[in-house]
């Protein structure tokens, strides 16, 4: 296989991967589901759900910790999924 064909195949695989990452969504929660976030593959925070009892407690520090933990978990899940996808890419002949 010539280098030009390999480069073309690699470019197609990269485009496919970028599309899959852009379409990816993960959900993560903290505090037993008291805070749940949804994050896209580009690390965009898509939504945050906060259970009413967390707000009623008026414990701002706890809420901050729960949001931070849920966001960090979502980022970890995105990174893990991306590493899995990139690791699955194999260009024949390389």
What are the tens digits of pLDDT across the range 47-94? 999 999 988 888 899 999 999 999 999 999 999 988 887 776 665 555
Query: Model-level pTM greater than 0.85?
Result: no
Cβ atoms 70, 39 nearer than 8 A: no
Q: Encode 43-73: b = buried (16+ Cβ within 10 Å), e = exposed.
A: eeeeeeebbeebeeeeeeeebeebbebbbeb
On the question of pLDDT at 39 being above 70, the answer is yes
On the question of pLDDT at 22 being above 70, the answer is yes
Ordered structural domains, the chain, with CATH: 26-94 (3.30.1310.10)
Cβ atoms 74, 38 nearer than 8 A: yes
């Amino acid at each position: 296989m010539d280098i030009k064909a390999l480069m073309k195949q690699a470019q197609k695989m990269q485009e496919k991967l970028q599309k899959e990452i852009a379409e990816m969504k993960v959900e993560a929660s903290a505090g037993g589901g008291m805070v749940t976030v949804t994050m896209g593959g580009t690390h965009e925070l898509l939504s945050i759900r906060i259970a009413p009892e967390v707000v009623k407690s008026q414990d701002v520090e706890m809420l901050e910790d729960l949001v931070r933990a849920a966001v960090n978990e979502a980022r970890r899940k995105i990174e893990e999924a991306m590493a899995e996808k990139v690791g699955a890419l194999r260009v024949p002949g390389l």
